[in-house]
């Protein structure tokens, strides 16, 4: 059964303190791995798509990487406005649905 | 604003009543998805449309839930005989190709 596990559940960082969020996945055939950001009371906002092991994507202070078993979202020198829940999802071959993890709640303190 | 709109944004209903939600996707997107999200959880897949055809439906979805997408444009999600366990955020997403789903703001349902 396809499964996505995210860790840690919650993370508190000081402004400027870099860290990484983990997304471990089990899927029959990976069609794509996706990172989203979600603010309270809003829908998820698309960040990145990764398709194959070794692929990396960057956007401002965020960098996503992918291996055959997990993905990392690296946050470099975070700012308070980076505070949000970060969700990881996978799409497997033979299905149209995303399987989401439970997310990592990130709080960046000024 | 992703361009996906949902209506209403909030709905409070009594147990046993029927409710209907609407989703308007980005106009050129042929794929439309419904998800349900409860507090502290990630979105849970409910159903998928490609144009007007409903191609996938979650096994977790009871017979009380039904979705339509007439003419391949907007979509509606109806819940019949609501239960307190149906209280959640209902999210709609659309995409043009099989990735990069763009989510709407959601409809928050509270069943009293």
Q: Measured between alpha carbons, how far is B86 from B71 in angstroms, rounded to an integer?
A: 28
Task: For chain A, say whether B40 makes contact (Cβ under 8 Å).
Answer: yes
Residue A85 is encoded by which pair of tokens? 């829940």
Residue B97 is encoded by which pair of tokens? 């190709």
Torsion angle in degrees (nearest 10) through CA of B91, A85, B41, A97: 50
Cβ distance of A91 and B99 shorter than 8 Å: yes
Q: In chain A, positions 65-94, which contact chain B (CB-CB < 8 Å)?
A: 87, 89, 91
Domains in chain A, number: 1
Residue B43 is predicted with a pLDDT of 96
pLDDT tens per residue across span B13-41: 999 999 999 999 999 899 999 999 999 99
Cβ distance of B93 and A99 shorter than 8 Å: no
- Domain span holding position A73: 3-109
Mean pLDDT, range A47-58, rounded to an integer: 95
pLDDT tens per residue across span A32-44: 999 999 999 899 9
Q: A9 burial class (0-12, 13-18, 19+ CB within 10 angstroms)?
A: exposed
* Angle, vertex CA B9, rays to CA B6 and CA B11, nearest 5: 120
Task: For chain A, say whether B53 makes contact (Cβ under 8 Å).
Answer: no
How would you write B44-99 as a 3-class SS string?
Answer: EEEEEEECCEEEEECCCCCCCEEEECHHHCCEEEEECCCCHHHCEEEEEEEECCCC
Instruction: Write out chain B residues lying below 8 Å of A99, CB-based.
Output: 45
pLDDT tens per residue across span A61-109: 999 999 999 999 999 999 999 999 999 999 988 888 889 999 999 999 9
Residue A96 is predicted with a pLDDT of 80
CATH of the domain at A50: 2.60.40.10
Indicate if the alpha-carbon torsion angle A9, A15, A20, A25 is positive or negative: positive
Q: How far lies B48's CA from each of A7, A54, B45, in Å?
A: 28, 30, 8
Q: In chain A, positions 14-33, which contact chain B (CB-CB < 8 Å)?
A: 31-32
Q: Are A29 and A21 spatial neighbours (Cβ–Cβ below 8 Å)?
A: no
> B81: left (phi > 0), else alpha (psi -120 to 50), else beta?
left
Cβ distance of A96 and B103 shorter than 8 Å: no
pLDDT tens per residue across span B51-108: 999 999 998 778 899 999 998 899 999 999 999 999 999 999 999 875 789 999 999 9
pLDDT bucket at A2, cuts 50 / 70 / 90:
confident
């Amino acid at each position: 059964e396809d499964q996505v596990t995210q860790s840690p559940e919650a993370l508190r960082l000081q402004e400027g303190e870099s860290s990484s969020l983990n997304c471990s996945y089990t899927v029959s055939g990976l069609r794509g791995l996706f990172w989203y950001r979600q603010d309270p009371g809003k829908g998820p906002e698309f960040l990145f798509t990764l398709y194959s092991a070794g692929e990396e994507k960057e956007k401002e202070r965020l960098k996503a990487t992918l291996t055959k078993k997990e993905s990392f979202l690296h946050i470099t020198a975070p700012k308070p406005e980076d505070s949000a829940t970060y969700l990881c999802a996978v799409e497997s071959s033979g299905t149209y649905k995303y399987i989401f993890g439970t997310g990592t709640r990130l709080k960046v303190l000024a | 604003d992703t361009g996906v709109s949902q209506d209403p944004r909030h709905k409070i209903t009594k147990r046993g009543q029927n409710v209907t939600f609407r989703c308007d996707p980005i106009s050129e997107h042929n794929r439309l998805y419904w998800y349900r999200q409860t507090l502290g959880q990630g979105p849970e897949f409910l159903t998928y449309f490609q144009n007007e055809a409903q191609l996938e439906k979650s096994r977790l979805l009871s017979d009380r839930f039904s979705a339509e997408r007439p003419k391949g444009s907007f979509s509606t999600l109806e819940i019949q005989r609501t239960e307190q366990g149906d209280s959640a955020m209902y999210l709609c997403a659309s995409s043009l190709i099989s990735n990069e789903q763009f989510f709407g703001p959601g409809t928050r349902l509270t069943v009293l």
